[in-house]
Amino acid sequence: MNQIAENLKAVHERIDLACSLYHRLPQSVQLMLATKTQTDNVLRSAFEAGETLFGENRVQELVPKTSELADLPITWHFIGHLQTNKVKDVVGRASCIQSVDRQSLVEAIHNECTKKQRVIDVMIEVNTSFEESKHGLHPDNAPAFVEMISAYSTMRVRGFMTIGANVDDEITVRKGFAMLRELRDLSLSILPQATELSMGMSHDLEWAIAEGSTIVRVGSAVFGQRPSA
């Protein structure tokens, strides 16, 4: 077994253990591989090990990767901050944009989907850690945003996304994840299909699963630490 396959086995064991500990069904949590900086060959190895859900942060990496790996039945999500002028490069390549966090982006996605006669899945990104370094809606603005985006027929809102607080304190990190779950629950009357919670990464996926995550986005635990910028 190669190193990536071994790492994937270990991550799946972590997910299964967390599901057991917090009384979740293992199939209720999907593993998404965070592909930023990874080569096509590395990603092919991950696919050969059984993974088919990939998330990319950078448009400049999404474009070549989706082309080079077009022969594989991979489901691609875009999970990074998206500039409005790059929407045209994402619609048609990613099946879901997880980082929708402002009206100008909603309008850009709507215009591009209208032009291409497409409907795309999206998720609403919320900054539940209140850290200035992170993108996403302020939680207080989420209800109005939900009302606004629900009027766009070019988008199917599948759920909500957040990045956990950059601290080692379990109570603090889980508080942010619980906040996203509560926002999701409050929104179901308007967006009944928005059941997904994309939260949790290599270092905090267990805490995210405890708070209801349905998609964990894992990179370094599978591929190793990325080189420093």
Tokens coding 34:
């965070």
Q: CA–CA separation, 162 vs 206, rounded Å?
A: 15
Tokens coding 47:
């696919």
Rounded (10°) angle between helices 40-48 and 3-21: 60
Model confidence, pTM: 0.96
* Cα 104-106-110 angle, rounded to 5 deg: 115
The pLDDT value recorded for residue 225 is 80
How long, in residues, is the chain?
229
Provide the β-strand partners of residue 156.
121
62 pLDDT higher than 50: yes
Q: CA–CA separation, 90 vs 86, rounded Å?
A: 7
Query: Domain boundaries in the chain?
Result: 3-221
1 pLDDT higher than 70: no
Q: Which CATH superfamily hosts domain 3-221?
A: Alanine racemase (3.20.20.10)
pLDDT tens readout for residues 5-30: 999 999 999 999 999 999 999 999 99
Q: Three-state secondary structure along 155-167?
A: EEEEEEECCCCCC
Residue 161's identity, in one-letter code, is M
Task: Name the helix (H) or strand (E) containing 14.
Answer: helix 3-21
Residue 32, SS3? strand
Tokens coding 103:
């009206």
What residue has token string 């267990």? 206
Beta carbons of 125 and 98 less than 8 angstroms apart:
yes
Tokens coding 184:
């999701």
- State the average pLDDT for the chain: 96
pLDDT tens readout for residues 65-122: 999 999 999 999 999 999 999 999 999 999 999 999 999 999 999 999 999 999 999 9
What residue has token string 């630490």? 225
Strands 96-100 and 215-218: unpaired
Confidence of residue 229 (pLDDT cuts 50, 70, 90): very low
Strands 215-218 and 75-78: unpaired
Q: CA–CA separation, 78 vs 84, rounded Å?
A: 13
